[in-house]
Each structure stands twice: as C-alpha cells, then as structure tokens.
Structure 1
Amino acid sequence: MTNAYLRAFPATDAGGNVTRRVLSDSPELMVVEFAFAEGGVGALHSHPHVQATYVQAGRFEFTIAGETFEVGPGDSFVVPSGAEHGCRALEPGVLVDSFTPRRDDFL
C-alpha cells in the first residue's frame, strides 16, 4: 500500500467553539471529526447529504427535525437528507460524522 490513500487535512475553525478536521474523503463518502469545547454549538442547519454521527467523547444535546435528545460516548445515529439539525456540547467532546456524498464545502 502506498501513501496515495493518505491525505493530511488541517483542523479548521467551524465557529461556535468547534473545530473541524476532514479525516478521509472520496466523492461518495467523507469522514469528519468535530471537536467541541464545553458549550460549543453546531448551529441548526440542513444539507442534502445523509449524515451518520458517532459520539467519540463527551455529552451532547442534539435536535433533529424538531426532536431533541441527549447522547454520549458510543452513541450513534443517522441524520436524514434535508433534516434540520444541530447540537450543543454539554461538556467537551468529539463527534465523528460520515457524509454521503462528500461535503465538497468542507474541502
């Protein structure tokens, strides 16, 4: 295996006390790490991509399509295409999101 499969992406400020780092991508799929400070906010938004979220660390309050729930380490869920969603970090934490297709706006 060559390093052609490995790309280094820098962390970027995503706003709201959140940093974003693309971990891997292809046109069909993207994996992104979001690191939140306590109280960090992922503002309500929607996009055409299907999103799967895995809570690596921390506790978060999520809202998806008007429904609010709390998640913690090891929890995982899917955000449907077009669903308005957002979150707030109840403590410092890390989310790992997968998007299909790739979020070209993150590159």
Structure 2
Amino acid sequence: MEHVPNDAVDPTEAVDGVHLSMLAGGERMNVQHFFVEPGSTVPEHSHPHEQAGFIYEGTLTFLVDGEEYHVSAGGSYSIPGDEPHAAENRGDVPVKGLDIFSPPRENPAWQGDD
C-alpha cells in the first residue's frame, strides 16, 4: 500500500493560478489534486492518459471540441486519452478537485522533472 500524507505534498503552480499535487498511485493509475483560483485557465492540452475527476468545491468549465461542460461541486467527468481539452474557473471561488489518470502520469511536465 502507498500512503501519501497531506503534509508530504507540496503543490506546484503549473500555470498562473492552477496548483497541482501528485498524490498516491499504482501500476495502472494515479491521483492528482488540483486547486484553480478564480479567473484562472488550464490551457488546451492533451495526454495519452484517460482522465476521470471529481469536483468538491466550485465550478470548472471544460472546453472540449468546441463544446462547454460546466462541472460543479459533487459532479464528476471523464476525458478519453489524447482528447484536447482546456478548463476555466469562471466563478468567484476556488475550484478544488481530484483527477485520476490511467495509465499513471509519470513525471508530467508541470512537475519540472522532464
């Protein structure tokens, strides 16, 4: 079993106002926490990993293939691998949530380990 205590994780500001923390992971998936400040944007990107997530505070607007998807606290989502997507916090409160990636994201560019 892998256990990652809260005080062992330092968030990384991947882009202005978007804070990410890599949490526990296994051979087939890993978990990432995110905190998106009001007015902040995750630029369009893609990755080979499937991504499923859960929002527990605020509302995040996803932009996928010309469509907008508003995911509020208590809502979840999934994004297929290699699908370009972006996200925006258009609200006035931070957005907090969790993402699960499969296969695991190892050394994502935002960690600066590449």
Name the TM-score class by shorter chain.
0.7 to 0.9
Any stretches of 5+ residues in structure 1 without a counterpart?
Answer: none
Q: Secondary structure at the match of 2:15?
A: coil
Structure 2 length normalisation: TM-score?
A: 0.83
**Which 10-residue stretch deviates more, 59-68 or 12-21?**
59-68
CA drift of 1:61 comes to 1.2
Any stretches of 5+ residues in structure 2 without a counterpart?
Answer: none
Counterpart-to-counterpart distance in 1, 2:64 and 2:27: 25
2:2 is aligned with what amino acid? Answer: Y
2:29 is aligned with what amino acid? Answer: L
1:24 is aligned with what amino acid? Answer: A
Q: Is the 8 A contact 2:28 2:104 kept in 1?
A: yes
CA drift of 1:5 comes to 2.1
Counterpart-to-counterpart distance in 1, 2:70 and 2:2: 35
Counterpart-to-counterpart distance in 1, 2:16 and 2:41: 5
Q: Does 1:5 align with 2:2?
A: yes
Structure 1 length normalisation: TM-score?
A: 0.88
In structure 2, what is the equivalent of residue 58 of structure 1? 58
**Which 10-residue stretch deviates more, 9-18 or 29-38?**
9-18
- Number of residue pairs aligned between Structure 1 and Structure 2: 104
Counterpart-to-counterpart distance in 2, 1:56 and 1:23: 16
Counterpart-to-counterpart distance in 2, 1:51 and 1:5: 20
CA drift of 1:26 comes to 1.8
Q: Is the 8 A contact 2:2 2:25 kept in 1?
A: no
Ranges of 4+ aligned residues in structure 1 off by more than 6 Å: none
CA RMSD of aligned residues (A): 1.5
2:47 is aligned with what amino acid? Answer: H
Percent same amino acid among aligned pairs?
Answer: 28
2:3 is aligned with what amino acid? Answer: L
What are the residue-to-residue correspondences of 1:15-94 with 2, within 5 Å? 15-91=15-91, 92-94=94-96
